[in-house]
Amino acid sequence: MRVLLTGSAGFIGGHVAQALEGAGHEVVGLDLRAGADVRDAAALDRLLPGVDLVAHQAAKVGLGVDVSDLPDYASVNVYGTAVLLAAMARHGVGRLVLASSMVIYGEGRYECAEHGRVRPGPRAVRDLEQGRFDPLCPRCGRAVRWAAVGEDASPDPRNAYATSKLAQEHLAANWARETGGSAVALRYHNVYGPRMPRDTPYAGVAAIFRSELEAGRPPKVFEDGGQLRDFVHVRDVARANLAAVRTPARPGELAAYNIASGTPHTVGEMAVALAAARGGPQPRITGGYRLGDVRHIVASPERAGLDLGFRAEIGFEDGMKEFAWS
């Protein structure tokens, strides 16, 4: 199969390229680092003839610095995806694998002892400043218990990146309905692994902690370190893309899948694991916070296992030991 891979020189895209080529697919790369922009319709018109499937990894990632990032998120992620989909329609390319994200969910799933399943709203600044980090039941104000979130949960994006990723899914669904194409959205959870970018505010928390340790400084952990996440290794994410290439969605539809390990860990546990692998220094809990962050977001990867045959293979301990020195 001939695959156009956007973001082919990026952290995840590079691993996806290796997985595709290892499985015998021909990869046509498009990446801003190589002077090719997904927003460039003429470049797409040169690359798309003869392509069977597009794996769309190109994106501006991370939580961002402040509202000055809004135009870039809208331009690269939203407008870029629209330009790509229009070009695919022009050239009759009918299959898309889209790199989406768990950030579209906002806060994860919670259960209240009295009211059952609830969706807390954004955390109040006053609560965060006073160290009250866990969300409460929006109906009774009592403590709630986290649960794994499935793909059918209502989206609730809390920052510009999340909003742009949800917009990508909506655009892909529009494209699928109007063209009869098939789209698979892979909602990555917290991806880490070799070749993860260094020393940038747009990198994931694992990369930020690693950079601190490399400089001999303790990782600075926001809140109380108890935020739950699902850390999934980049080679498992590449395998998920390969599984999606092998398993198309039904024509005219977008199918979404959580791509996660299925075993959550706290941000504090991740910082401790990286520090232990490198011999310290130990993490420092700061009590600080970022308004765009959520408290707990834990995935159910069951659907990806059933439909795509994908299950993560790299465990947390082994993955963090490798990543600490990569």
pLDDT means over runs of 10, the chain (326 residues): 97 97 98 91 98 97 80 96 98 98 93 94 93 95 95 92 96 98 97 88 84 96 96 98 96 98 97 96 95 89 98 97 95
- What pLDDT is recorded for position 165? 97
- What pLDDT is recorded for position 292? 76
DSSP assignment string, 84-96: HHHHHHHTT--EE
Q: At 258, is the secondary structure helix, strand, or coil?
A: strand
- The enclosing domain of 279 has a CATH number of 3.40.50.720
Residue 63 belongs to a domain = yes
Residue 282 belongs to a domain = yes
The DSSP H or E segment spanning 117 is strand 116-118
Contact 57, 100 (CB under 8 A): no
Contact 92, 281 (CB under 8 A): no
- The count of other CB atoms within 10 Å of the CB of residue 305 is 16
- What pLDDT is recorded for position 291? 83
Contact 12, 238 (CB under 8 A): yes
Residue 124 belongs to a domain = no
Number of domains the chain is built from: 1
pTM for the predicted model, two decimal places: 0.95
How far apart CA 193 and CA 7 sit, in angstroms, is 17
Residue 144 belongs to a domain = no
Q: Which domain holds residue 310?
A: 2-108+149-324
Pair of tokens at residue 171: 């655009």
Pair of tokens at residue 269: 């546990």
